[in-house]
Chains A and B, each alone.
Chain A
Amino acid sequence: MNKSKNLLWNRIGPLLMSMLLLLVFILSGCSPSPTISKSPEEGKKDELVLAVGMADYGMFDPKKTWGAIGQIRLTHSSLLKPTKDLTFVGDLAKSFETSKDGYTWTFKIRNDAKFSNGDPVTIEDVLFTYEMLKEDGIAFDLSFVDKIEITGNDTIIFTLKEPRSTFISQLSEIGIVPKHIYGDNYSGNPIGSGPYQVTQYNDGEQIIMDYNPYWYGDEPQFKKLTFLLLKEDAAFAAAKAGQVDICYIPPKFAGQTIPGMTLHVLESVDSRGITLPVLPSGRTGNINSNEVQVGNDITSHLAIRQALNIGLSRQGIIDVTMDGYGKAAYSIVDGTPWFNEKTVIEDGRIEEAKQLLADAGWVDTNTDGIVEKDGLKAEFDLYFPSNDQLRGDIALAVADQALGLGIKINIMGATWDEIFVQGKANACLWGGGRLHPHQLYTMYSSKVHNKGYNNMTHYANPVVDDYLEKAMYAATQEEANKYWKLAQWDGKTGFSPLADVPIVWLARVGHLYLVNNKVNIGNQLMHTHGYEFGLFGNITEWSINQ
């Protein structure tokens, strides 16, 4: 037996040894080859490696929604752009004006802008881009545009079917594409007029962007950007391996430190809240053209909504669910020029909330800890998308705190498809937040009842409707902002925490990035719902820390 053992080993041994040797050979033979083309320690740093998520969303083509979450500032230019204080100024447009009645928008474009292939950006390109997207009609809503005309070689005039001050959102999000190059394969050859050009796109791996020498704005310090398309865990591992300069991280990783990198907590308008149907049950309506139940017998009571609004501790929820990396939210537009700052309230007032419920007739008669009124128990379902951990955590924290107020909330993890069936008859953990006020209209106007996924709570207040219309008809941003604020609270009514609260907004999620200590990411623009791109709004201002 002993002999046979040796024989077996004699036969298999060399095989195993040779495999081992092969492995060692592969390891040693390859490791000296350069893995990273940059080295932070050497000389002048003009490249960045970024792991900020699925940065290829939209694949550089406005028709595939490139731009809708603020990506375009890297690769394209648009007629308008937002500034840090969120006023909208010309980018490609050197001047623009809106007619008094709000129907006609006129832009004169600059004549020094060029695409990354050297061709000038002409008024024809602008016209082509908008007409192409209007025709497509999916990525950007331009259905309210009646006609687009050009006069001379630098003027474009949009005539709208109805006034719409929030047109600024499309104007600042639609990247202009070259008419003579654009085609079905534009993603493979995305020529734009932004500070960078996409020089290589490895689908599912990385995007390499190089400085566009024809860029008409300030020359960026960093001439090459490499975006790694890594998920959170892998991105963090890459940062730990010292291979990236900027890495996005979820709050659960925020406690960990990486030498040479600093945690940046960036302010966002990326808000989370709970929608509370304002109508009693027994009606039907539509979500995305499907007939669904509308209304909820508990949340339709103002006292219940208000009790949650003043009783829940927003900071408490942020501490529990985001490790404190967030800010309390009182609307979906906190921190913007169209946010009514008077509507910030003090919350966590448990006793007052209980009193408010008691005054409205909600009393705990059977001592089960839950209040009742007319035999109706203050209990309702709160839906959240089960694949979204943050929303799940927030739902749990809300339910936990609500119990202390005598309100029982059952949290229901579901798919979006189910949420879009249950959403109008139950509470939902909702989210949003953009650099323009249009969501105020789609979430609170009664004109959009049963349209798409708008106004989930079926909120309707004639006074608010009036302000919202006036805001849409406004010819200037200042005037529009005035009405957006009045719609939130005019001293008597509104949809803010001071009045109707159809949606109790809870928190703005802080956007967390680990940034190489050598890199200065400047004074950031407000970040929006959707993680990846808020960071790059001011890319041309980024610099090296000395």
Chain B
Amino acid sequence: MSQKILMRFLRMITLMFGLSILTFWLLHLSPIDPVNAYAVSDTSMSQEQLEKLKEYWGVDKSPVKQYFSWAGALLRGDFGVSKLYRTPVINIIKSRAMTSFVLMGTAWLLSGVLGYILGAVAAMKRGKLLDRFIKWYSYILVSIPTFLLALILLLVFAVWLGIFPIGLTKPIGLANADVTLADRLRHFILPALTLSLLGVANIAMHTREKMIDILNTEYVTFARARGETSWQIFKNHGFRNSIIPAISIQFAYFSELFGGSVLAEQVFAYPGLGITLTNAGLKGDLPLLLGIILIASLFVFIGNFIADILNTIIDPRMKRGDIRC
């Protein structure tokens, strides 16, 4: 096991290294000129201002040089300074990562559990009204863009019913020191709900398919013939067999969650890494973009790592090495 973890760790280091080069290279190839992106707001900038701006962004240096100066600093633990916000990247990530990860983590967990239950129920009730309802619900959700669902929820719950606030992580105009946990929770619910509702569809449909496969197997027919109830079939055969793909899918879904959270964050003015990431990308803020990408990929990597460990625990065949993940 420890050897496996060590191997994983090494793989992670090389992944980070490769990823940073790839990001760097892609951004270099992209048509986005950070100087243009900056100057859009003021096209009367003088040539002298632009020269200073280029020097500041470092675009006058060769990309290889730029990369090594960035990577060198990173090895010393310095993520660099965001060109856009003129603030150390690590400060920006710190201030936003917690919000983001709590939001995404909750949404991820909720959508996983709910999605799995819905998918399993739909498969057990295949063709019945409940199944049709769950399918219908999932199809609608996967086709709704995140921001639309966010706006609808905002309209219904914040504007018409007034039970939730319109956005932000804390009450309007209230000093940080006076914000209670209950306040934070109230502000947290709508964005988390938006993300959870969307995530449900994916996992529900996958679980449903997998569960139907399982229910069609001979061992389930045999179990039924032995007089096992639906619940027993689910408990004895369905659960373990369907949870593994569900877990893998849900962990892979993590990266998608990032994309969805950008839009939800924007609608609810719920500041997280998502908005910062898009800004950094669109304005060509390399240090910030690289910083967030590294942190995010670390997160996804750890997620997948946990999935593997969980799968090993759930499925004894993996531990024995009968099948490899």
Residues of A in contact with B (beta carbons under 8 Å apart): 1, 3-5, 7-8, 11-12, 26-27, 29-31, 33-38, 47, 49, 59, 61, 63-65, 68-69, 136-138, 141, 143, 184, 187, 199-200, 202-206, 208, 224, 226, 228-231, 233-234, 237-238, 240-241, 243, 288-289, 415-418, 420, 432, 438-439, 442-443, 451-454, 530
- Contact across chains for B37 and A234 when beta carbons are under 8 A apart: no
Asked whether any CB of chain A lies closer than 8 Å to the CB of B41, the reply is yes
Establish whether residues A138 and B53, one from each chain, have CB atoms under 8 Å apart when the complex forms.
yes
Q: Are A204 and B275 in contact (CB under 8 A)?
A: yes
Cβ contact within 8 Å between A442 and B230: no
- Chain B interfacial positions (CB closer than 8 Å to A): 31-33, 35-37, 39-50, 52-53, 56, 85-87, 95-96, 117, 121, 124, 151, 154-155, 158-159, 162-163, 165-176, 180, 182-183, 185-186, 189, 229-232, 234, 265-271, 275
Taking a contact as CB atoms under 8 Å apart, the answer to whether B173 and A7 are in contact is no
Q: Which residue of B lies closest to A16 (CB)?
A: B117
Instruction: Write out the residue numbers on chain B whose beta carbons fall within 8 Å of the beta carbon of A229.
Output: 269
Which residues in B have their C-beta under 8 angstroms from that of A47? 173
In angstroms, Cα B174 to Cα A192, docked, is: 22
A402 to B11, CA, bound (A): 61
Q: Is the CB of A7 within 8 A of B189?
A: no
Closest chain-B Cβ to A537's Cβ sits at a distance in Å of 19
Contact A416 B37 (CB under 8 A): yes
| Residues in A whose Cβ lies below 8 Å from that of B46 | 141, 143, 442, 451-452, 454
Q: How far is the CA of A228 from the CA of B42 in the complex (A)?
A: 24
Is there contact, CB below 8 Å, between B32 and A33?
no
CA distance A454 to B43 in the complex (A): 7
Q: Which 10 pairs show the lowest CB-CB distances between chains A and B?
A: A204-B271, A4-B229, A143-B48, A137-B52, A226-B173, A453-B43, A442-B44, A238-B166, A4-B230, A451-B47
Q: List 16 A-B contacts (CB under 8 A).
A: A7-B231, A26-B185, A36-B172, A37-B172, A64-B85, A141-B46, A205-B167, A205-B169, A224-B173, A231-B266, A231-B267, A234-B151, A238-B167, A442-B46, A452-B47, A453-B39
**Residues on B with beta carbons closer than 8 Å to the beta carbon of A30:** 182, 185-186
Determine if B166 and A206 form an interchain contact, defined as CB atoms under 8 angstroms apart: no
A31, B163: Cβ atoms under 8 Å? Answer: yes
By secondary structure, the A interface counts as mixed
CB-based nearest B residue for A230: B269
**Across the interface, which residues of A come within 8 angstroms of B53, CB to CB?**
138
Q: Is the CB of A208 within 8 A of B175?
A: yes
Complex Cα distance, B253 from A226, in Å, reads 37
Residues of B within 8 Å of A228, CB to CB, are 167-168, 172, 269
**In this complex, what residue of A is CB-closest to B185?**
A30
Chain A nearest CB: distance from B135 CB in Å?
19
Docked complex Cα distance between A230 and B167 (Å): 8
Asked if residues A237 and B43 are in contact (CB atoms below 8 Å), the reply is: no
Residue ID in chain A nearest B162 by CB atoms:
A241
Instruction: Decide: A8 and B124 in contact? CB cutoff 8 A.
Output: yes
**Contact (A237, B155) CB under 8 Å given A7-B229, A289-B50, A452-B43:** yes
Q: A319 to chain B: closest CB distance in Å? A: 28
- Shortest CB distance B282–A (Å): 9
Q: How far is the CB of B63 from chain A (nearest CB, A)?
A: 17
* A417, B31: Cα distance in complex, Å: 7
- Interface contact B45-A141, CB-CB below 8 Å: yes
Q: Which residue of B lies closest to A442 (CB)?
A: B44
The smallest C-beta distance from A42 to any residue of chain B, in angstroms, reads 15
CA distance A453 to B45 in the complex (A): 7
Contact status B230-A38, CB under 8 Å: no
> Which chain A residue shows the least CB distance to B120?
A12
* CB-defined contacts of A451 to chain B, threshold 8 Å: 46-47
Closest to B44 in A: A442
On whether the beta carbons of B41 and A530 are closer than 8 Å, the reply is: yes
Residues from chain A with a CB closer than 8 A to the CB of B155 are 237
Min distance, Cβ A131 to any Cβ of chain B, angstroms: 15
Return chain B residues, CB-CB under 8 Å to A234: 151, 154, 166-167, 267-269
Q: Smallest Cβ distance from B202 to chain A, in angstroms?
A: 20
Complex Cα gap A29–B265 (Å): 25
A438 and B35 CA atoms in complex are apart in Å by 21
B170, chain A: closest CB distance, angstroms = 7
* Contact between chains at B267 and A288 (CB < 8 Å): no
Which one of B166, B168, B230, B266 has the highest number of Cβ atoms from chain A below 10 Å of its Cβ?
Answer: B166
Q: Which chain A positions have C-beta within 8 A of B158? A: 237-238, 241
Tell me the nearest residue of chain B to A137, going by C-beta: B52
Q: A69-B41, A205-B270, A234-B267 are in contact. List 15 more A-B contacts (CB 8 A).
A: A7-B231, A8-B231, A12-B121, A27-B163, A30-B186, A36-B173, A47-B173, A187-B86, A203-B96, A205-B167, A231-B269, A241-B159, A241-B162, A418-B31, A453-B45
Report the minimum CB–CB distance from B233 to chain A (whole Å): 9
Whether A439 and B44, one on each chain, are in contact in the complex, defined by CB atoms closer than 8 angstroms, is yes
Q: Nearest Cβ in chain B — how far from A430, in angstroms?
A: 8
- A238 CA / B159 CA spacing, docked (Å): 7
A238 neighbours in B (Cβ, 8 Å): 158, 166-167
Contact residues in A for B185 (Cβ distance below 8 Å): 26, 30
Query: Measured between C-beta atoms, what is the minimum distance from A509 to chain B in Å?
Result: 16
Shortest CB–CB separation between residue B262 and chain A, in angstroms?
12
Chain A CB within 10 A, most for which of B163, B167, B183:
B167
What chain B residues lie within 8 Å of A37 (beta carbons)?
171-174
| Interchain CA distance A415-B36 in the complex, whole Å | 10
Q: Which residues of B lie under 8 Å from residue A34 when comparing CB positions?
A: 171
Chain B nearest CB, measured from A453 CB (Å): 4
A4-B231 contact given A205-B170, A205-B271, A229-B269, CB 8 Å threshold: yes
CA–CA, A424 and B172, complex, Å:
47
Cα distance, A459 to B140, chains bound together (Å): 55
Q: Within the assembled complex, what's the spacing in Å between the Cα atoms of A353 and B265?
A: 50
> Which residues of A are found within 8 Å of B87, using beta-carbon distances?
187
- Cα A37 to Cα B183 in complex, Å, equals 13
By CB atoms of chain B within 10 A, which of A1, A5, A30 has the most?
A30
**CA of A99 to CA of B87, assembled, Å:** 41
- Find out whether the CB atom of B173 lies under 8 angstroms from the CB atom of A208: yes
- Give Cα distance in the complex from A12 to B231, angstroms: 10
Contact call B50/A288, Cβ cutoff below 8 A:
yes
A30 to B182, CA, bound (A): 6
Residues of chain B lying within 8 A (CB to CB) of residue A452:
39, 43-47, 49-50
Interface pair B176/A288, CB less than 8 Å apart: no
* Given A138-B52, A205-B271; A416-B40 close (CB under 8 Å): yes
Closest to A434 in B: B44
**Cβ–Cβ < 8 Å partners of B231 in chain A:** 4, 7-8, 11
Partner of A137, one of B48, B86, B173: B48
Shortest CB–CB separation between residue A416 and chain B, in angstroms?
A: 5
User: What are the residues of chain B within 8 A of A141 when measuring CB–CB?
Assistant: 45-46, 48-49
By beta carbon, the residue of chain A nearest B272 is A204
Taken together as a complex, chains A and B put the C-alpha atoms of A453 and B38 apart, in Å, by: 12
Q: What is the CB-to-nearest-CB distance from B61 to chain A, in angstroms, rounded to a whole number?
A: 15
Shortest Cβ gap from A233 to chain B (Å): 6
In the complex, chain A residues whose CB is within 8 Å of the CB of B162: 241
